[in-house]
Structures are given as structure tokens and as C-alpha cells.
Amino acid sequence: MYALIAANNRIRGPQSALTDFLASNNISAAQITADYDRRQREARQREQEEAAANGEAIEQQQEEDEERAEIEAAAQKKKRKRQQETALTKVKEGKAKKKQKKRKGDDSDGGDSDVTWDMYTKKKPLPGQLENCEECDKRFTVTPYSKTGPEGGLLCVKCSKEQTAQEKKNQKAKKPAVSRDKRRQVQSNLLDGIVQIGAKSLQDICIKEVANNILDIDEFGDLPQELLNPLSQILSRRRAITSRTLDLFLRSDLDTIDLYDCGKLETEDYIRIFSVVSNIRNLNLRNAGQFKDEVIDYIIERSIPIKTLQLEAANLVSNDKWTQFFMNCGEPLEFLKLTWLDYSMDDDAFSHLIRYCPNLTRLKLKKCFRLTDAALSAIKDLKQLERLSLRFPTPTSSDALAELISKIGPNLRTLSLENFTDADDDVLSTIHTSCTQLSKLRFTENDYCTDAGFVGLFTEWSNPPLAFIDLSSNRSVDYSMPDGPEVPTGLASAGFEALMEHSGARLEHLDISSCRHITYETFSNIFDGKNQYPFLKDINISFLTKIDTAIAAGMFRSCPELIKVTAFGCFNVIDVAVPKGVALIGVPNAQDSIVQEGDVDADLF
């Protein structure tokens, strides 16, 4: 035995079926590998020679070399191809047999067969070599970027490009099948409070289509005014209001221009608005950074009697120009809204506003950095004022605010006071005594007023029930006491109960977000499913972490007209059944909300 092994003197590992098969056909795997290596070596050598020849830069010789190489390559290729073909057919047969064997359970496959197989697949020429295109049979130089054709061969530059174009086309054609965009759109709509059931109106679809093709439209024709506004909104949202698209909105028969994003308009564009739409009475320009002194000059020169003026971010107008504007054009002004003027208007210019605009019924001022207590007190001289909306970035005194409200309060229909951090319970009691015909009240971002102050405001208030109440962020901000101080600060349980007692019957919009001292018991009493708030459509309960699924469900029963619930940060609201047509925003839920079909009362508890 020993002698026999010694005679063979070879230790052999497991052999693949292919190796066996090849050996039986007198084909040695080692020989083939050696041949393959040699051919590779030759190809490399030839390449190096060619490169060297190129280096000598003798064009003629290079051409000769190339020709020779070509002929050689062609001849070799033909030979190789023949060899490959015969080998391939044999290997294929072998593979088929091997598969049969495999099925029988003989699984002694060595890794070497794969290597062997790789060698017999159509060999790809190395970059720099010449090859015939698989598609068009043209001869071309192979580059690292050459594409593989459908049969495995290489493609010329032209055919490669065509293939890439085709692939892109196919990808594009596939895209609509992916619903991610649509899902994103649904979520985006939900954040806007839009829950669409059924098709959009034909108007909405058309407006969207017009906006999509805005660059191909030369004029809107006699499109009615009320359709221009949604068009302006959608174009502003896409930041597509430019000098060119502005022209579409300018028609001499109009008296109203609403543009919600003027970021791309230049000073001349604003002047053009007034020269084309010479009858303009209502002007609403947001993000109007380039609305400068020259524009005001033009308005004064033409003495255009503007009734409604809303300007946002017109912070390059000088104080003198504001003064001139109010002196010349103040009389007809009825509604003035100035926001984000930054450092553009000071108390002095503002005093001219008060003096020369006696007919103002609506005044809204936000983020005008240089207005102080003096401006706040000056507002009391606007005798016609019915709607007042203020947000002062500078600290103002509680007394000045209380005094203002006591003077103009009786005439006010809406009052919005944002971020008056120093206002105290006196302001609330002044609102209680002075304001008797409010339909909208906003008093936000304050940590000074107490719950008792809010109870005092809403208890036995001679003002009829309000339709709109926003008391968000009235809470203690001392986070060392998460449950709030002993004496409840901000809108807490008693204040909220007094609010709902006073206005619940007519309330449409309610924002109590971040009023974190309202207790769970109060919520469950207010939204017990039996109390009815028949007009409540929109409610914001964000960051009221005590609210849970049961209270949310009770809310849906207590407010039959509800269409929008904003509930960011309400982590205890989980898998609540949302009635049909209600947008529940902000509740973390990877799934679509569970929309309840049919009757709301069916199965809430």
C-alpha cells in the first residue's frame, strides 16, 4: 500500500465533475490555465509595446503598428473564438451533467470550476484594445466606460450612449408606479390640514395645471379676480413670482393685487404695478425687500388712494419716506399691516402714521424693531380702530398696554396681542371691562398672568361668546417645577373651564397649545363626549402631554364639526380612531391614521 501511494506521490483534493469530465476528454485544466495566463501575458506585452511605440510619436510607424496589431488581433481573435466555442459547448454539456449529478445529491463541488468557467465566458478586451461593436459591428477603441451589450459583448461609444438613454427612459417610465411621492404629498397636505375625500374641484386641478405651465402662458385673459388669488398663492409658494410672471397679474381693470412672495421682484417691478394697475386700492406684498423709497415716491406723485396696504419685509424704506407717505396718502388708508420692517420705522415716523391716518379700522404691526411704549400709547388716538394686532419685539410695559385697551377696547372686534411678556392680570381685567364686542382674542406667550386672571376675564364677561381664541403658551417657564407653581400661572384648569363655559357654544378656533398646567381631569370633564361644542372646527392641543387617546376620542365626540386637530408632542395619543374628514396633525404614527368610517358615535369607547 505504502509503495503504491509513494509511486503516485501526489496528494489530491476532491475533484470537481468538470475536471473529471475534461480529463476524460483529454483536456487538462492545468494546460488551459497555463495557456490562458500566457495569452494574458502576451496581450499585456503587446500593449506595452504599443504604448512605447506611441511614445516615440512617429505617426507612420504607429499606424503600421496598429495595422499589424489589428491584423494580429483579428487573426488571434478568430482562432480564440473558435477554440472558445468548442470548449464552451463541451463545458456546457459538462455543466448540464453536473447539474443532474447535483440533483442526485453528489455535492463535491470545488471552487476551481468557477474560475475555469470565468475563463470561458466571452473575454472582454482590456481598455485601449480594439473591438467590434456588438450592436453595429463598427470597430472602436475599448475604454473603461464602454458598455456591455445584451449579448455580453462591448458596445461602441454611440451605441453605449443609446443604451444609457434607453435605460434612463425606462427608469422614468417606471417612476409613476412608485407611490412615495404621492404618500409624501398626502402627508404634506395633512400638515396643511387638508384631508381630501373624493376628487379635487375642477378649479383646483386647473389652477395647478396653469401654475405648472406658467412659463408658456402669455396672459390670463379676463380671469376673474377671485381666481388670481389662488394662482398667486400657488406661484408664491413655488417662488415663481418674477418680473415675467408679475405681468400676468397686472391688468388695468383690477383694483387688488396679492403677491405672497415678492422676493424676486426689483424696485422697477413695484413701480410697474402702480403704473399698470392705476386703480389699485388693495395691495398685499409679502417678502417685498426691494420695495424702496422710489416706489413710495411714485405712489405719492400719482396720489394713488390706497385703502388696504399690507407690506412685509419692506425694510429699506427710510423714516422720512414713511412720514411723507402718511402725510400724502394717509387719509384713504383703512387697513394697514406692516410686518418685519426691522429697523425701518421709528416712534417718530409712527406718530405721523397715527396723526395722518385717522380712518384706519385695522392695524397690524409685527416685528418692527424700533417701536416702543411711545408707539403703543400713541395707537389710542385711532378712534376708528376695530381690529388691532400687535407683536412688539421690544419689551413694553403692562400699564401702557392696559391704558391702550381701556381707550380703544369698546370699539374693538378683534384683538391680537402676541408675546407681551410683561403684561399682567391688569391687562386681562382691562380686556374684561373694556372689550364688549370681540369675536377674536389672541393673547400668547406670557408667563406673568395667573390662572385667576383668566378666570376673571371669562367669568361673567359681557362680551358675547368668541369664535376665535388663541391663548397658547400662557404657562410658567420654570421647568424645575414641571407641574407649575402653587398658585397656577398661565391658563390652567380653572381658566380653561371658565373659557369653555363662556365661549364653548360659539367657539370655532381654539389654540391652547403649551398651556401645560391644565390637568387631565379638566380635559376629561370638558371633552367628556357629552358636552357639545357645535362650531369647533380647529383645535390646537400641541405639547399638552397629559392628553391621551381617551381624551382625544372624547374630543371627536364633543366637537362634531371638527376638521383639524393639531397635536404635536401628544405622545399619549396612540392609535386613536380619527373620524372621516378630520386631519389629525403631528401624532407620531408611521402608519396612515386609522380613519373611522361612518358614524362618529359608533365605537369610540
Answer for the pair 127, 143: CB distance below 8 angstroms, yes or no: yes
Please tell me the count of residues contacting another protein according to CB under 8 A.
26
Within its chain, how far is the Cα of 288 from the centroid? Answer: 23
| Cell numbers for 346 | 421709528
Which residue among 209, 253, 460, 486 contacts another protein (CB under 8 A)? 209
Cβ nearer to another protein, comparing 239 with 580? 580
Cβ nearer to another protein, comparing 5 with 205? 205
Cβ nearer to another protein, comparing 51 with 217? 217
Helix (H) or strand (E) holding 41: helix 29-56
Cβ nearer to another protein, comparing 29 with 235? 235
The minimum distance between CB 212 and another protein, in angstroms, equals 7
Which residue among 107, 216, 253, 460 contacts another protein (CB under 8 A)? 216
Q: Which residue is listed with cell 459583448?
A: 153
Classify 284 in phi/psi space as left (phi over 0), alpha (psi -120 to 50) or beta. beta
**591 touches another protein by CB under 8 A:** no
Classify 137 in phi/psi space as left (phi over 0), alpha (psi -120 to 50) or beta. left
Q: For residues 227-256, which are near another protein according to CB under 8 A?
A: 227
In whole angstroms, what is the distance from residue 156 CA to residue 136 CA? 8
The window from 107-115, 155-163, 211-219, 356-364 that contacts another protein (CB under 8 A) reads: 211-219
| Cell numbers for 133 | 461593436
Which residue among 21, 36, 120, 220 contacts another protein (CB under 8 A)? 220
The minimum distance between CB 202 and another protein, in angstroms, equals 4
The minimum distance between CB 242 and another protein, in angstroms, equals 19
In whole angstroms, what is the distance from residue 396 CA to residue 370 CA? 12
DSSP 56-98: HT-HHHHHHHHHHHHHHHHHHHHHHHHHHHHHHHHHHHHHHHH
Please list, in sequence order, all residues whose beta carbon lies within 8 angstroms of the beta carbon of residue 105, skipping any fewer than 6 positions away.
none
The minimum distance between CB 589 and another protein, in angstroms, equals 16
Cβ nearer to another protein, comparing 250 with 595? 595
Answer for the pair 299, 326: CB distance below 8 angstroms, yes or no: no
**157 touches another protein by CB under 8 A:** no
Distances (CA, A) of 113 to 85, 101, 118, 393: 18, 15, 9, 79
Cβ nearer to another protein, comparing 28 with 179? 179
Which residue among 73, 159, 207, 584 contacts another protein (CB under 8 A)? 207
In whole angstroms, what is the distance from residue 566 CA to residue 582 CA? 11
Binding mask 167-206 for another protein (x = CB under 8 A): ---------------x---x---------xxxxxxxx-xx
**223 touches another protein by CB under 8 A:** yes
Pairing relationship of beta strands 139-141 and 130-132 according to DSSP bridges:
antiparallel
Give the three-class secondary structure for 565: strand
**208 touches another protein by CB under 8 A:** yes
DSSP 4-17: HHHHH--------H
Cβ nearer to another protein, comparing 482 with 581? 581
Q: For residues 469-488, which are near another protein according to CB under 8 A?
A: none
Which residue among 224, 253, 303, 460 contacts another protein (CB under 8 A)? 224
Answer for the pair 211, 240: CB distance below 8 angstroms, yes or no: yes
Radius of gyration of the chain (CA): 40
In whole angstroms, what is the distance from residue 396 CA to residue 403 CA? 12
The minimum distance between CB 565 and another protein, in angstroms, equals 18
Cβ nearer to another protein, comparing 111 with 176? 176
The minimum distance between CB 534 and another protein, in angstroms, equals 25
Q: List residues near another protein by CB under 8 A.
A: 182, 186, 196-203, 205-210, 212-213, 216-217, 220-221, 223-224, 227, 595
